[in-house]
Amino acid sequence: MPVDLQSLYPKLVHLMLDTVFVVDGDNQILFVSDACESLLGYRADELTGTLITNYMHPDDLALTQDSIVRVMNGQHHVDFRNRYLRKDGSTVHILWSARWYEDEEVRIGVARDVTALMQAEEELRFLAHHDPLTKLTNRSLFYDRLVSGLSAARRHQSSLALLFLDINDFKMINDTYGHAMGDGVLCTVARRLESCLRETDTVARMGGDEFTVLLTDIQSVEAVTRKVDQILTVMAEPLGAEFGEISMPSCSIGMAYYPADGDDADTLLRHADSAMYKVKGNR
Sign of the C-alpha dihedral, residues 259, 264, 267, 270? Answer: positive
Q: Is-contact 111 13, C-beta < 8 A?
A: no
Annotated active-site residue 209? The verdict is yes
DSSP 8-class letter at 60: G
Question: In whole angstroms, how far apart are CA 166 and each of 147, 170, 191?
Answer: 22, 9, 15
- CA-to-CA distance for 174 and 186, rounded, in angstroms? 11
Helices 179-196, 170-177: inter-axial angle, 10-degree rounding: 140
User: Catalytic: which of 18, 209, 264, 273?
Assistant: 209
Residue pair 28/35 in contact by the 8 Å Cβ criterion: no
Cα–Cα distance measured from residue 174 to residue 49, given in angstroms and rounded to the nearest whole number? 64
Q: To the nearest 10°, the Cα dihedral for 86, 92, 95, 100?
A: 20
**Angle at Cα 38 formed by Cα 36 and Cα 40, nearest 5°?**
60
Beta-bridge mates of residue 111? 19, 96
CA–CA gap between residue 225 and residue 173 (Å, rounded): 29
Which residue type, as a one-letter code, is found at position 210?
Answer: E
Active site positions, annotated: 209
